[in-house]
C-alpha cells in the first residue's frame, strides 16, 4: 500500500487549497493508496514557511499552497526548489496572468474571499429577517432589528424592508391601524432606529383604489374612503409623536429613493 502525504499551506484558513486538493483526489481510485493531508493555515512569515519545508522534507510530502503576498510566495517557491520538494502553487499562475491582462496590481490581502462569503451570508440573514418579521408578526424582532419601519397600509413598508435587507440591514415593519394597539415594546426601543413613513392622503387614496381594483373589489370600500384615510393618518401622527422618531414623506418617492434616505438617517444616528 502506497502512502502519499500532502501539506496544504495557506496564508488564510486554507479552505480554497483543500477544496481543490479534495477535488483532485476524488478522481483517483484509492483502494491501494492512502493519502494523508495536513492543513497548515496562516502561513504569514518566512519562519512559517521554513516550518512547512522542514515538515515536507521529513515526511516526503507534496506541498499544495495558496499564498497571496508576493514576497512570501516567492520565498516559498525558492525554498521548494532548493529542497527539491514536489509542489503546486494554486493561486500564483492565475494571479500573474491577471496582473498581466488587467495591468493592475492585486490587493495582496489574504482571506478576502471569506470576507465576501461573510457579506453574502449577512445579506441572506437580513432577507430572512425581513420575511420573518414582516407586518409586525413577532414583537421579538423589535429588539433585534437595525431599522423599524412604521406606517399605515400601502406606504411600501414591505418592499422597503426587502430592499434594505439586500443592503444588509435587518428590518422589521409595523403596520399602524387605529383598531389595533401597536406592541408596547415599540415605545421602548431606541427611536433613532425607527422611521415613520408619512404619505399624502390624496396619494394614499389613489394607491388604495388601485389595490382594490387589483383584488376585484369596488372602490367604495371603507379602506379607500377619505374619512377612513384621514382617521388612519391622524392615528399615525399620534403614534409618531409618542415614539419621537424621524418621519419620511413617501408620497412621491421611489422605493430606492426612500431607502437611500433611510440609510442616511440610520448611518447618521449611528455616528
Q: How far, in whole angstroms, is CA 108 from its chain's centroid?
A: 23
CA-nearest of 133, 160, 151, 241 to 199 is 151
Q: Is 151 annotated as a binding residue?
A: yes
Q: Annotated binding residue at 156?
A: yes
Give the contacts of 203 (CB within 8 A, at least 6 positions apart).
Answer: 251, 252
Q: Residue 15: which of 112, 133, 122 has the closest Cα?
A: 112
Alpha-carbon separation of residue 66 from 7, 41, 74 (angstroms): 11, 10, 12
Is 34 annotated in some ligand binding site? Answer: no
β-pairing, 194-198 with 171-175? Answer: unpaired
* Residue 192 contacts residue 180 (beta carbons within 8 Å): no
Phi-psi region for residue 66, left (φ > 0), alpha (ψ -120 to 50) or beta?
A: beta
Query: Three-state SS for 128?
Result: helix
How many Cβ atoms from other residues are within 10 Å of residue 49's Cβ? 24
Report the C-alpha gap between 217 and 220 in whole angstroms: 9
* DSSP-assigned states of every residue in 51-96: HHHHHHHHHTPEEEEE--SHHHHHHHHHHHHHTT--EEESSHHHHH
Q: 154 labelled as ligand-binding?
A: yes
Enumerate the known binding-site residues for ADP: 151-158
Amino acid at each position: 500500500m502506497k502512502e502519499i502525504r500532502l501539506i496544504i499551506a495557506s496564508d488564510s484558513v486554507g479552505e480554497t487549497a483543500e477544496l481543490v486538493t479534495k477535488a483532485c483526489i476524488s478522481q483517483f481510485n484509492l483502494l491501494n493508496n492512502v493519502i494523508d493531508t495536513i492543513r497548515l493555515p496562516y502561513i504569514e512569515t518566512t519562519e512559517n514557511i521554513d516550518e512547512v519545508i522542514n515538515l515536507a522534507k521529513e515526511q516526503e510530502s507534496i506541498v499544495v499552497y495558496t499564498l497571496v503576498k508576493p514576497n512570501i510566495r516567492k520565498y516559498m517557491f525558492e525554498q521548494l526548489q532548493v529542497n527539491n520538494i514536489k509542489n503546486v502553487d494554486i493561486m500564483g499562475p492565475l494571479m500573474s496572468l491577471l496582473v498581466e491582462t488587467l495591468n493592475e496590481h492585486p490587493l495582496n490581502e489574504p482571506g478576502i474571499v471569506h470576507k465576501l462569503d461573510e457579506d453574502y451570508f449577512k445579506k441572506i440573514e437580513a432577507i430572512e429577517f425581513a420575511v420573518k418579521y414582516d407586518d409586525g408578526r413577532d414583537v421579538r424582532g423589535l429588539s433585534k432589528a437595525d431599522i423599524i419601519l412604521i406606517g399605515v397600509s400601502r406606504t411600501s413598508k414591505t418592499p422597503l424592508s426587502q430592499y434594505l435587507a439586500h443592503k444588509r440591514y435587518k428590518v422589521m415593519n409595523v403596520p399602524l391601524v387605529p383598531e389595533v394597539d401597536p406592541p408596547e415594546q415599540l415605545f421602548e426601543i431606541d427611536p433613532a432606529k425607527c422611521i415613520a413613513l408619512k404619505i399624502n392622503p390624496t396619494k394614499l387614496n389613489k394607491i388604495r383604489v388601485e389595490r382594490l381594483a387589483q383584488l376585484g373589489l369596488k372602490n367604495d370600500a371603507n379602506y379607500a374612503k377619505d374619512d377612513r384615510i384621514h382617521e388612519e393618518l391622524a392615528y399615525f401622527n399620534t403614534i409618531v409623536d409618542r415614539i419621537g422618531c424621524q418621519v419620511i414623506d413617501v408620497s412621491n418617492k421611489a422605493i430606492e429613493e426612500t431607502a437611500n434616505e433611510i440609510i442616511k438617517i440610520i448611518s447618521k444616528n449611528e455616528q
